[in-house]
Amino acid sequence: MREFLLSKQGQHPLDKDLIFLLEDIATSCRVISHQIRGGAFAGQLGATDSTNVQGETQKQLDVIANEVFVRHCSNCNRVAALVSEEVDEVYWLKARPQPGDYLVYFDPLDGSSNLDVNLSVGSIFSISQLPSAIDASDDRSVLLAGSAQICAGYSVYGPSTSLVITTGSGVNGFTHQQGTGEFRLTFPDMVIPETTSEFAINASRYTLWEPPVRRYYDECIAGTNGPRGKTFNMRWTASMVAEVHRILTRGGVFLYPEDAGNADAGGKLRLMYEANPMALIVEQAGGAATTGSDRILDLQPSSHHQRVPVILGSREEVDVLNRYHRDA
């Protein structure tokens, strides 16, 4: 992976500190993958007694994965602060953050309800840079729009462990090689097909959805005789990382809309460490990511655990969904 990161990425070579940070994140993913695969031996499956700031019961591996990320991301002396799904406050590492210092946002374990049933889970991360020198105690300084991200990625802990990264000039996928421990470039220049006939949504929430989402779903399942005139396939893995990885591999559209059950919270998925990094990856692979009305990367965050509606994937389907939201 280092050789790849050292090669020219876009207009400029990557900053050495960013390369070190990405290597530390890759190490975190390798360690988390190992912890998950050995979870049953170590008695690490199952829940803890605690809830996180989201009000969700933490799995033991949520807590372990968070500790792994914090430990490895703290190695880089250019990291000013960490924002984790599992930690209420912003974790400031530098007393006097400087312009250009890194802010690292992460969901240490995504889809953790899949752990106990041995299905795919993942980690998601996003990196931005502080635009100016600030007072470390000011948590509002981490509220940067997704368009400010200089890098985003995720790791899927599936049949193999993959690491998918963008530094703003395309998307590249690496696979962890057992034995050597290397992440090797196996999926260069990942592109999302513009057209698809596969969608992913938690359809058990049908009665809670807004009319545009119901319309889209109804038209998809109406098949060849419906207004879309073709058969659609449906998937739901309950892990956004696994859904996005499938979409990067063979196309598709993923929806977690705002509905009557999550409207008070603003949606289900978190903007800064789920929606933003996935939106950057999806756009860099030629897809689109919106709330139904706004481009995700343009949203100005109001809090670091803010939730948002998410629609992402193949451009044509995201356009259809945007249009249905406009029509409504």
Give the CA count within 13 Å in the CB-facing half-sphere of 46.
Answer: 7
Cβ at position 323, least distance to ligand AHG in Å: 24
Two tokens at 65? 């994965």
Judged by CB under 5 A, the chain residues 106 through 125 that form the site for Mn ion are 107, 109-110
Residue of 245, 248, 249, 223 lying closest to 234 (CA atoms): 223
Minimum distance from residue 240 beta carbon to Mn ion (Å): 6
Residue 88 token pair: 């209420």
Instruction: For residues 247 and 107, give the distance between their C-alpha atoms in angstroms, rounded to a whole number.
Output: 19
Nearer to ligand AHG, 97 or 111 (CB): 111
CA 175 – CA 86 distance, rounded (Å):
26
102-110/79-84 β-pairing: parallel
Using the rule CB under 6 A, which residue among 27, 202, 249, 306 binds ligand AHG? 202
Segment near Mn ion (CB under 5 A), from 67-75, 83-91, 137-145, 213-221?
83-91
- Closest approach of ligand AHG to the CB of residue 115, in Å: 9
| CB closest to ligand AHG, residue no | 240
Query: Site for ligand AHG (CB under 6 A): which residue of 136, 145, 208, 238?
Result: 238
Window 41 to 70, contacts with ligand AHG (CB under 6 A): 56
Whole-number Å distance between alpha carbons of 192 and 198: 12
* Contact partner at residue 258 from ligand AHG, Mn ion, none, CB < 5 to 8 Å by partner kind: none
CA dist., res. 190 & res. 188, Å (int): 6
Among 24, 101, 110, 258, indicate the residue that binds ligand AHG (CB under 6 A). Answer: 110
For the chain, the first-to-last Cα distance in angstroms comes to: 46
Under the binding rule (CB under 6 A), the answer on residue 267 touching ligand AHG is: no
283 binds, among ligand AHG, Mn ion, none (CB under 5 to 8 A by kind): none
CB hemisphere CA count around 220 (13 angstroms)? 22
Residues that bind ligand AHG (CB under 6 A): 56, 85, 107, 110-112, 202, 238-240, 256, 268
